[in-house]
Every structure is written in C-alpha cells, then in structure tokens.
C-alpha cells in the first residue's frame, strides 16, 4: 500500500499530529491576521498562542506571492463582540457629596443658584410704623416750638408796640432812659409781684435788670443806684413802683409792668394782686403821688 503524503486535508492514517498541522497552517498563511483566524478556526476556539511567529520562510513565501508583509492590516487583539466602557461605579464618597476631580470641575462650571432672601413682612411693617411715629413726633415738637416762639414774639410786640400809640404829652417830655446793671436770672421771690414785674421786663427786653434787692417799696431807689432812669412821669415799657397803701398796695408796696398811658390813667399788668400769687391780672390806676417808674432803656 502506498502512503499519500500530499499536504492538505488528506493525510495518511495513523500519522496525524495536530501541532504539526497548526504550524503548517501558520506558515502557509501570508497575513498575520489570517494566521490568527486560521488558528482559531482550526482549533475550534483554542487560544491563539499555540501558533509560532512567522518565520523567514513565511516572509519569503509572502514576498514571492507579492504580498507586502511589512504593512499588515490592523487586526483586533482578540476575536469577540465589541464592548463599551462601563460607567464609573458609585462609591461611598460620591453618595455623601464627594466627587472626583473631573466631576468637581464639571460641577464648578454649572452656575450656582443664588440664595433667595425672604423678608419678614411683620418686622418690615413694624419698622415703617416706628419711623412714621418718630417723624410725626418730631413734626409735633417742631410745631410746638414754633408756636411758643410766635407766642413770645406776639407778647413782646403787644407789650412794646400795641400801646405805644396811646401816649400823653408827659411821655414826650420824659427823659431818655439809661441802661443799668443786669442779672442772669429772675432774682425775686417766685409768685410775688416783684417776680412778675421782672418776668415782664425780660419778655419785653430780653434780659433781667439787676443790682438791687428788697421789697417793692424800695425798688425806685435801688434801680436808680443800679444805673437805671427813674421818673415820676408814666411811660410804657417801664416798671411802676407804688408805695404802701397807694392804689391798694400792701404794707411793703407793690410793682407792676406798664402797658399803656392815657392822660392820668395808667394800665398795668401785675402778679399777686386781685388774682393771687403766680397769677397775672390787668387793671388801670389813676396817677397819684407815691408812684415812680423805672424806665427800660
């Protein structure tokens, strides 16, 4: 019997060597990619590492066949279905808010939402109400101060000007008044006629006369010594000094502020007379002896 040693699928019985056949197939394959495919096909899915690298005779056979072995086609490293990259697994740190550097960079690019400021409407209303009350109180205080100034101005004008047109011939010949000493406060006893007369002088002239003390009946001589003009001729803007018993005066005399002169009639405003202590009243007296007048300059 003749043994057939022809290469191929026909081989002599009893002489089959799988490893030799794999090597033979590898040498006869011109492309590395074809080598891998042939090895996988021949072994039915065995690992391709059994194939030896292409030898010199393989390269020469490929060259003689006209195939460029230096530029093989790209082949996959392994045969099988294409796979995609699995997502990064969740970790315990990411669950509590920690992100890797790449995720932090992406998060920084996202604009953060600005916090919303919520106003307390009740507090806002209370503040507005308090501001309105403060403004109203200030306006009321300003109005009261203005009213008081106007009242003082009116009183002064009334005392100095309203009765100045009612004059007698004696006023025309009254001597000019000299300016005497001044006091820093009302030095008389509060509620008495002396305190009331000094207060009216202050309202008219803006200061208190001073330089003397004593009861009302001693004021004429005291004022003269302090530098003021004292006369028996009545004149507005002057203090009338009445000796005891004159026009109802007490045992220590009486004083008042002259507001008008009409002939021998002198109108005065006085404290602690018919109205009692701390209260003013107005009356008109007839000029007589025992009366003197301290002129305001």
> What average pLDDT does range 66-88 have in this prediction?
49
pLDDT tens digits for range 112-170: 667 777 777 888 888 889 999 999 999 988 988 888 787 777 766 665 554 444 444 44
The pLDDT of residue 118 is 76
pLDDT tens digits for range 254-278: 999 999 999 999 999 999 998 999 9
Mean pLDDT of the chain: 75
> What average pLDDT does range 177-201 have in this prediction?
95
Q: Tell whether the model's pLDDT for residue 61 goes beyond 50.
A: no
Closest CA to 270 of 245, 242, 231: 242
Q: Tell whether the model's pLDDT for residue 25 goes beyond 60.
A: yes
> What average pLDDT does range 242-250 have in this prediction?
95
Q: Tell whether the model's pLDDT for residue 180 goes beyond 60.
A: yes
Higher pLDDT, 53 or 275: 275
Report d(CA 95, CA 176) in Å as an integer: 105
pLDDT band at 222, cuts 50/70/90? Answer: very high
Please report how many Cα atoms fall inside a 13 Å half-sphere around the Cα of residue 2, on the Cβ side. 3
Higher pLDDT, 39 or 217: 217
Q: Tell whether the model's pLDDT for residue 297 goes beyond 50.
A: yes
pLDDT band at 78, cuts 50/70/90? Answer: very low
The pLDDT of residue 153 is 72
> What average pLDDT does range 217-245 have in this prediction?
96
CATH for the stretch 169-295: 3.90.1720.10
Q: Tell whether the model's pLDDT for residue 237 goes beyond 90.
A: yes
Break the chain down into helix, strand, coil percent, rounded to 5.
Answer: 40, 15, 45
Q: Tell whether the model's pLDDT for residue 91 goes beyond 70.
A: no
The pLDDT of residue 253 is 96
pTM of the model: 0.45
Domain boundaries, the chain: 18-64, 169-295
Kind and range of the H or E run holding 106: helix 101-109
Q: Tell whether the model's pLDDT for residue 196 goes beyond 90.
A: yes
> What average pLDDT does range 221-241 have in this prediction?
96
The three state secondary structure string of 133-201 is HHHHHHHHHHHHHHHHHHHHHHHHHHHHHHCCCCCCHHHHCCCCCCCCCEECCCCCCCCCHHHHHHHHH
């Amino acid at each position: 019997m003749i043994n057939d040693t022809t290469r191929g699928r026909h081989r002599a019985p009893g002489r089959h060597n799988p490893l030799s056949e794999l090597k033979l197939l590898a040498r006869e394959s011109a492309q590395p990619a074809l080598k891998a495919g042939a090895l996988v096909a021949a072994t039915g899915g065995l690992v391709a590492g059994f194939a030896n690298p292409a030898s010199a005779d393989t390269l020469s056979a490929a060259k003689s066949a006209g195939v460029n072995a230096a530029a093989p086609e790209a082949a996959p490293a392994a045969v099988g279905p294409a796979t995609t990259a699995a997502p990064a697994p969740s970790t315990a740190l990411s669950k509590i808010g920690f992100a890797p550097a790449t995720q932090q960079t992406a998060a920084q690019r996202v604009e953060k939402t600005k916090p919303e400021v919520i106003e307390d409407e009740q507090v806002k209303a209370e503040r507005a109400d308090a501001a309105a009350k403060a403004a109203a109180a200030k306006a009321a205080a300003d109005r009261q101060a203005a009213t008081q100034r106007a009242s003082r101005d009116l009183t002064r004008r009334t005392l100095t000007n309203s009765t100045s047109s009612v004059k007698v011939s004696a006023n025309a010949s009254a001597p000019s008044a000299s300016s005497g000493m001044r006091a820093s406060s009302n030095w008389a006893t509060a509620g008495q006629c002396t305190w009331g007369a000094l207060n009216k002088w202050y309202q008219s002239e803006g200061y208190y006369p001073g330089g003397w003390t004593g009861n009302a009946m001693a004021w004429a001589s005291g004022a003269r010594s302090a530098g003021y003009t004292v006369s028996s001729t009545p004149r507005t803007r002057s203090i009338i000094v009445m000796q005891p018993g004159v026009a109802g005066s007490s045992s220590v005399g009486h004083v008042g502020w002259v507001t008008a002169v009409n002939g021998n009639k002198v109108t005065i405003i006085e404290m602690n007379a018919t109205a009692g202590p701390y209260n003013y009243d107005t009356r008109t007296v007839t000029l007589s002896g025992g009366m003197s007048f301290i002129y305001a300059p």
